[in-house]
């Protein structure tokens, strides 16, 4: 196996962990990367992700595979059925979700997994429309699925962006750092470092330009099928604990490389969402640390993950 240190994907940021999970998920679609595994390694700070590929692969090979994959995103039915999840009626959502399920096979269920991640037709907002996944923090003129399609298109373009960086440079920044936050890209509430709090900004946040790392946002978006939604008296989401009307995201850190199936099982473990976490069970499964970040409302409309807390263990790769 080949080892690729993803030094740009930090263990202690929601968007960093989500992007690492999304990268592993994309690898399962690339024939030469299928069977890749993910681990975490201690470095400066909290540690970074490490990708282990089944065959020979280097940084450039990984970047090339990711660029090739995002070029196919516009063909996905899961991104084309609506511009916005939370404006869909239960009937509309059910119709498209059923169609995706009918097309699913044991070998290919990508579209159905996306609909499971978007929400549940049984969980409705006060307006009777779908209560979308808590990862959907779009508001005002933002449209979650339409924004995802535009982001994918920007990463598939061969021409460099406004800063003179094309898709390969964008992916290299996200995967290997440093993150320069020079892209005009909203982080969709997944990066606490980009929160704009009006009391601490030089002008109204709504009039300030967005600054993000677009390839990191896309990789994080690709992780959403690992957080399927269900209904149990309200919307429930794997990997998140409901606290009143809000949600708290918990994610694990581990050392030994694990497969996609193991990661999916780990994120859905009840031990991860408990308060406090079930450290004994998680340790038995190889988890060395757990971070937790609460989804908070900045205003009546805008939400974001808060700065994360280390609630179990130590940094990735630490001994003891």
Query: Does the residue 112 lie in any domain?
Result: no
How far is residue 310's CA from residue 45's CA, in Å, rounded to a whole number? 12
Query: Does the residue 175 lie in any domain?
Result: yes
Query: Does the residue 154 lie in any domain?
Result: yes
Query: Does the residue 37 lie in any domain?
Result: yes
In this prediction, residue 107 carries a pLDDT of: 86
Quick one: pLDDT band at residue 300, thresholds 50, 70, 90? low
How far is residue 76's CA from residue 260's CA, in Å, rounded to a whole number? 21
Query: Does the residue 21 lie in any domain?
Result: yes
Asked if pLDDT for residue 299 goes beyond 50, the answer is yes
**pLDDT tens-digit profile of 33-82?**
999 999 999 765 679 999 999 999 999 999 999 999 999 998 899 999 99
Domain range enclosing 272: 2-73+140-313
Query: Does the residue 163 lie in any domain?
Result: yes
Tell me 285's DSSP state: T
Whether the upstream peptide bond of residue 276 has omega within 30° of 0, thus cis, is yes
Query: Does the residue 127 lie in any domain?
Result: no
Cite the beta strand spans of the chain per DSSP E. Answer: 2-10, 37-41, 48-53, 119-124, 130-132, 229-231, 235-237, 240-243, 246-254, 287-297, 303-305, 309-313
Q: Is there a contact between 90 and 121 (Cβ–Cβ < 8 Å)?
A: yes
More confident residue, 200 or 115: 115
How far is residue 181's CA from residue 192's CA, in Å, rounded to a whole number? 13
How far is residue 76's CA from residue 248's CA, in Å, rounded to a whole number? 29
Average pLDDT rounded to a whole number, residues 252-271 = 96
Measured in degrees and rounded to the nearest 5, phi and psi for residue 136 equal: -85, 95
**pLDDT tens-digit profile of 221-255?**
999 999 999 999 999 999 999 887 789 999 999 99
Number of domains in the chain: 1
How far is residue 162's CA from residue 70's CA, in Å, rounded to a whole number? 20
Query: Does the residue 41 lie in any domain?
Result: yes
């Amino acid at each position: 196996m080949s080892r690729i240190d993803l030094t740009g994907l930090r263990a202690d940021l929601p968007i960093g962990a989500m992007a690492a999970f999304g990268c592993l998920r994309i690898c399962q679609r690339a024939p030469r990367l299928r069977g890749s595994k993910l681990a975490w390694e201690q470095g400066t700070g909290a540690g970074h992700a490490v990708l282990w590929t089944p065959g020979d692969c280097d940084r450039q090979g990984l970047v090339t595979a990711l660029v090739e994959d995002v070029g196919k995103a516009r063909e996905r039915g899961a991104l084309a059925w609506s511009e916005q999840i939370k404006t869909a009626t239960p009937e509309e959502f059910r119709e498209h979700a059923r169609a995706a399920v009918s097309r699913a096979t044991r070998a290919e269920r990508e579209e159905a997994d996306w609909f499971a991640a978007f929400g549940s037709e049984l969980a409705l907002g006060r307006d009777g429309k779908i209560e979308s996944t808590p990862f959907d923090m779009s508001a005002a003129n933002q449209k979650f699925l339409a924004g995802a399609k535009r982001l994918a298109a920007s990463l598939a373009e061969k021409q460099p962006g406004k800063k003179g960086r094309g898709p390969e440079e964008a992916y290299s920044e996200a995967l290997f750092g440093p993150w320069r936050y020079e892209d005009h890209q909203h982080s969709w509430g997944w990066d606490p470092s980009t929160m704009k709090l009006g009391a601490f900004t030089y002008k109204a946040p709504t009039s300030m330009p967005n600054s993000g790392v677009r390839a990191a946002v896309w990789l994080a978006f690709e992780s959403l099928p690992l957080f399927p939604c269900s209904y149990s008296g309200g919307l429930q989401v794997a990997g998140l604990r409901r606290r009143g009307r809000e949600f708290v995201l918990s994610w694990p850190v581990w050392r030994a490389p694990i497969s996609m199936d193991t990661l999916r099982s780990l994120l859905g473990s009840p031990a991860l969402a408990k308060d406090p976490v079930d450290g004994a069970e998680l340790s038995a499964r190889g988890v060395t640390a757990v971070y937790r970040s609460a989804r908070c409302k900045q205003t009546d409309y805008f939400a974001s993950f808060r700065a994360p807390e280390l609630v179990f263990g130590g940094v990735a790769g630490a001994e003891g």
